[in-house]
Amino acid sequence: MMHIAERVDCVLPSPPRAIFDKACKLTDVVDLTLGDPDLPPPLNVREAACRAIMAGKTRYSANAGLPALRRAIAMDYRRTTGREVDPDSQVIVTVGAMEASFLALYSTVEPGDEVVIHAPYWINYSQVVRSLGATPVFVNTRPEQNFELQAADVEAALSPKTRLVVLNSPNNPSGAIIPRQTLERIADLSRERGFAVLSDEIYDSLVYDGQKSDSIAVLPGMGERTIVVNGLSKRFAMTGWRLGWAIAPAELVSQMTKMQENIVACAPLPAQHAAIEALEGDTDNSYIRDEFQHRRDVIYQGIHAIPKLSCLKTPATFYTLVDIRKTGLKDYDFVMRLLEEKRVAMVHGSAYGGPDYDGFVRLAFTMKEERLMLALERIADFVQSL
Ligand code: PLP
């Protein structure tokens, strides 16, 4: 038998993938499991990728990405946050935000460190931290507080071993935004206690009702202690293009770039050219946010019409956590029975943060409205049958 390294063996299979795989084996399933937008990317962006391919712009780039793309990312970041960063030394282009966050953790976390993670959380964070021999320490947010992160809870989770605090605003899976005052308090703690912040802002363009999600990196002194992670996947509905980036202090970007050479060399070139067009061209992606805001309303009304279920009017992202506590079922039984009996796939809440979330299931509204309506009908039938 081949030896499997402990740092890989300790990584658990992804529960959402397991449900997705089970759903794939059944017929006529309405799949609300994956955070993969069903909308097309903007036309000019797709055309730019085709042009790059036809012009043979398909070779390796510098490890950190095309200089023109790094400039476009820095400009875009300045436009959206007001903060200036140096494109040559503070920006690295990666294979999705996923690789950006992996490289950031890989390059900063030592075995034995503690990494504080905003929960419920995107599962990769806990997995990668464990794989590095470090300990994830979760800061749970509560339904009665609209899943909003509380600075006092972050403070209570800190110890002398805290290396990094992972923030994800807007949050997957709750859709909650961290209010500016909370970011200010966490920034104070970061400066006082010396931990760094990984700020995953991948959903920052899917914010509804005129609200805004701020970047902690703009707060005084935080640019030098924060790794901002972002990418094209959600903002331009470009998940499969695998294009993300990190904005971080130069001394860290150079280390991440060195590691990138040893993993993937660079992000795919057609996707890099498409990203330049997405960020600098005449790109209208408002249809993506408008569509998800509309679906958010459909889901909010539909879930509230089902006795025993409720959910928040999620302020951002394309997820909502449906409160199933009144059904008397635990989350895993709920999702398995719903899948087997009514052919609707969702993910149990505890997958994103343990037993505190076993009264919830995550619904991703990445399907067309008529499929969502069908799912709502089936969920209503299921709840009635209990
Ligand atoms: N960060 C969060 C919080 C996510 O939910 C996801 C994808 O679901 C990612 C990062 C990964 O993004 P990308 O497709 O850019 O790798």
Q: Tokens 């935080």: give the residue.
A: 222
Average pLDDT score over residue span 93-119: 98
In this prediction, residue 323 carries a pLDDT of 98
| Cα 15 from Cα 226, distance rounded (Å) | 30
HSE (CB half, 13 Å, CA atoms) of 3?
3
Q: Is 98 in the pocket of ligand 1 (CB under 6 A)?
A: yes
Q: Which atom of ligand 1 is nearest to the CA of 36?
A: 8
> Is pLDDT at 316 greater than 90 in this prediction?
yes
Average pLDDT score over residue span 91-107: 98
| Cα 106 from Cα 108, distance rounded (Å) | 6
Q: What is the mean pLDDT of the chain?
A: 97
Quickly state the pLDDT bin for 253 (edges 50, 70, 90). very high
Q: Are 124 and 101 in contact (CB under 8 A)?
A: yes
pLDDT digits (tens, 9 = 90+) for 337-356: 999 999 999 999 999 999 99
In this prediction, residue 21 carries a pLDDT of 84
Average pLDDT score over residue span 191-195: 97
Which contiguous run of DSSP H or E holds residue 246? strand 244-247
Pairing of strands 347-348, 91-94: unpaired
Which residue's C-alpha comes closest to atom 8 of ligand 1?
35
Residues belonging to the chain: 386
Q: How far is the CA of 176 from the centre of ligand 1 (A)?
A: 16
Quickly state the pLDDT bin for 16 (edges 50, 70, 90). confident
Q: Who contacts 289 (Cβ-Cβ below 8 Å, separation ≥6)? A: 205, 206, 207, 208
Which contiguous run of DSSP H or E holds residue 197? strand 196-200
In this prediction, residue 12 carries a pLDDT of 87
Q: Measure CA of the first residue to CA of the last residue in the chain; give whole Å.
A: 47
Q: Is 35 in the pocket of ligand 1 (CB under 6 A)?
A: yes
Pairing of strands 226-231, 244-247: antiparallel
DSSP 363-376: EE--S-HHHHHHHH
Average pLDDT score over residue span 10-25: 85
Quickly state the pLDDT bin for 20 (edges 50, 70, 90). confident
Quickly state the pLDDT bin for 268 (edges 50, 70, 90). very high
Average pLDDT score over residue span 190-196: 97
Q: Which atom of ligand 1 is nearest to the CA of 231?
A: 15
Supply 375's token pair.
Answer: 């799912």
In this prediction, residue 14 carries a pLDDT of 83
Quickly state the pLDDT bin for 22 (edges 50, 70, 90). confident
Q: Who contacts 153 (Cβ-Cβ below 8 Å, separation ≥6)? A: 139, 140, 141
Mutation pick for ligand 1 pocket among 126, 169, 228, 234 (CB with most ligand atoms within 8 Å): 234
| Cα 152 from Cα 149, distance rounded (Å) | 9
Q: How far is the CA of 200 from the centre of ligand 1 (A)?
A: 8
Which residue's C-alpha comes closest to atom 12 of ligand 1?
97
In this prediction, residue 18 carries a pLDDT of 79
SS3 287: helix
> Is pLDDT at 117 greater than 90 in this prediction?
yes
In this prediction, residue 17 carries a pLDDT of 80
Q: Is 153 in the pocket of ligand 1 (CB under 6 A)?
A: no
Average pLDDT score over residue span 273-301: 97
Q: How far is the CA of 271 from the centre of ligand 1 (A)?
A: 16
> Is pLDDT at 307 greater than 90 in this prediction?
yes
Comparing 35 with 193, which gets the higher pLDDT? 193
Quickly state the pLDDT bin for 298 (edges 50, 70, 90). very high
pLDDT digits (tens, 9 = 90+) for 233-247: 999 999 999 999 999
Question: Which residue from 96, 106, 95 is spatially nearest to 130, judged by alpha carbons?
Answer: 106
User: Taking the domains of the chain in order of start, what are their residue ranges?
Assistant: 6-41+285-385, 43-280
In this prediction, residue 152 carries a pLDDT of 98
CATH of domain 43-280: 3.40.640.10
Above pLDDT 70, what percent of the chain?
100
Q: Is 198 in the pocket of ligand 1 (CB under 6 A)?
A: no
Average pLDDT score over residue span 121-125: 96
Q: Is 37 in the pocket of ligand 1 (CB under 6 A)?
A: no
In this prediction, residue 262 carries a pLDDT of 97
* CATH architecture for the domain at 6-41+285-385: Alpha-Beta Complex (3.90)
Quickly state the pLDDT bin for 34 (edges 50, 70, 90). confident
In this prediction, residue 315 carries a pLDDT of 97
| Cα 279 from Cα 236, distance rounded (Å) | 10
Supply 324's token pair.
Answer: 């199933």
Lowest mean pLDDT among 16-30, 139-153, 211-225: 16-30
In this prediction, residue 15 carries a pLDDT of 82
pLDDT digits (tens, 9 = 90+) for 129-179: 999 999 999 999 999 999 999 999 999 999 999 999 999 999 999 999 999
Global pTM reads: 0.97
The secondary structure of residue 93, as a DSSP letter, is: E
Cα 99 from chain centroid (whole Å): 12
In this prediction, residue 225 carries a pLDDT of 98
Q: Which atom of ligand 1 is nearest to the CA of 230?
A: 15
In this prediction, residue 257 carries a pLDDT of 98
Average pLDDT score over residue span 15-41: 90
Q: Which atom of ligand 1 is nearest to the CA of 244?
A: 15
The secondary structure of residue 63, as a DSSP letter, is: T
In this prediction, residue 139 carries a pLDDT of 98
Q: Are 132 and 109 in contact (CB under 8 A)?
A: yes
Quickly state the pLDDT bin for 309 (edges 50, 70, 90). very high
Q: Are 282 and 171 in contact (CB under 8 A)?
A: no
Mutation pick for ligand 1 pocket among 14, 167, 232, 233 (CB with most ligand atoms within 8 Å): 233
Q: How far is the CA of 201 from the centre of ligand 1 (A)?
A: 9
Q: Tokens 């609300």: give the residue.
A: 32
